[in-house]
Amino acid sequence: MSAPTEPSRDARADAATPDNPDDENTRVPLRIEDWLTVLSMALLALITFGNVIARYFTDQSFAWTEEFSIFLMIVLTLVASSAAVARHRHIRIEFFADAGSARRRHLLALWGAMAMVLLFLLMAGLSVRMVWDHYIYEEVSPGLGLPQWWYSMWLPILSLAIALRALGRFNRLRRAGEQP
């Protein structure tokens, strides 16, 4: 009779997919972004489906659905961008990023990660001002009349999340470059 075998990976490594080894190297699990992406897509599909059904049976459209759909598309884009940055699946020009020596590719990856950190920190900082203006001037959304800052407050939060994911990517790349 053979002895039971020990699991070869811990629970955190099980969250990683075989084609995304970076999933297991992140401190904050990428499942957060994955679930937020799924939730946003599901809500978009439900809202759109409900609107189509309402139009078909009543010849009327739910005007408020467009407001939520636009908000969800922005959230979806930023959340998926955060996961893409952490997994190194973001948009880049492969001709330049994958050409040259290993050292050149490594330095370009470091530079790209730091550029993303700076860009999204700038975006977070500037969008805080926009949220503050929406709050101070009591702007309301055109469809439902909700406070506009309810929608715009997610831009600096998600921009900061992307900046932190890019910083994590930078640190992982830097440590990988230090190893012999």
Summarize pLDDT for 157-180 with one digit per residue, the tens: 999 999 999 999 999 999 988 764
The answer as to whether 7 is a domain residue is: no
Number of domains composing the chain: 1
Q: What backbone torsions phi and psi does residue 25 show, to the nearest 5 degrees? A: -95, -5
Residue 63 domain flag? yes
Reported as a pLDDT band with limits 50, 70 and 90, residue 5 is very low
Residue 23 dihedral angles phi and psi, to the nearest 5° = -60, -35
In this predicted model, what pLDDT tens digit does every residue of 21-45 receive, in sequence order? 556 578 888 999 999 999 999 999 9
Separation between Cα atoms, residue 111 and residue 155, nearest integer Å = 24
User: Tens digits of per-residue pLDDT, 128-160?
Assistant: 999 999 999 999 998 889 999 999 999 999 999
Give the dihedral sign, CA 164/166/167/172.
positive
pLDDT level of residue 89 (50, 70, 90 thresholds)? confident
5 located within any domain: no
Q: Rounded distance, CA 33 to CA 24, Å?
A: 14
**Spatial CA neighbour of 176 closest among 11, 22, 20, 29:** 22
| 51 — pLDDT class (breaks 50, 70, 90) | confident
Look up the domain containing 52 and give its range. 15-178
Is residue 113 situated within a structural domain? yes
Confidence of residue 118 (pLDDT cuts 50, 70, 90): very high
pTM, rounded to two decimals: 0.80
**pLDDT computed for residue 1 by the predictor:** 47
159 within some domain: yes
Q: What percent of the chain has pLDDT over 90?
A: 58
**Alpha carbons within 13 A on the beta-carbon side of 82:** 27
